[in-house]
Copies of this chain bind each other. A is one copy, B any other.
């Protein structure tokens, strides 16, 4: 499976593509950062992020997208931008019919390092080892995006079973979503 990991942010959106299967050596396909200037309005920054994510999807054609789940415990100002950037990443993926998985930072750290409380350096070191790189990817957002993709591949069997169970439950429940519109 080929997974695009996205560590969302308005200023720096880490992106990393990893290919492989749980239990076998994984390969890094690409890593980078979509940056937008703080001089731009938020709306324009979101358009720039959309363009950047679309380029990564076009170039690397992943089959899955893993996005960091945003929590609001963090810094109040930062978290809104992070939520907005993550919305754009999810939108770009779902619009193409790609499955989107959200993983929390501690799930990613635990999957990659064995500890949900690992620091940036430990995550970078494990990403470097797992993908057999010569040095940790910089900046940290890029390494985090690769860690997300690795986490998704390693957790995929469990996550996919859960998603299948949810989908089955939905089929037996009320009809799924609709967009309604009222105009006077």
Contact = CB atoms under 8 A, between A and B. Distances in A.
Interface of A: 28, 30-37, 39-52, 55-56, 59, 70, 72, 76, 79-80, 83-88, 90-91, 93-95, 100, 102, 142, 170, 173-184
Contacts of A87: 46, 83-85, 87-88
**Copies of this chain, whole number:** 2
Given A88-B91, A91-B46, A37 B183 contact: no
A93 B43 contact: yes
Contacts of A40: 176-177
Contacts of A84: 83-84, 86-87, 90
A160 B94 CA distance: 36
Contact of A76 (B51, B72, B184): B72
Considering residues A31, A39, A79, A179, which has the most beta carbons from chain B within 10 angstroms of its beta carbon? A179
Given A39-B176, A177-B36, A44 B94 contact: yes
A174 B90 contact: no
Contact of A95 (B50, B173, B180): B50
A39 B176 CA distance: 6
Contacts of A32: 180-183
Given A32-B183, A79-B72, A83-B83, A37 B88 contact: no
Contacts of A33: 180-182
Contacts of A76: 72
B55 A177 contact: no
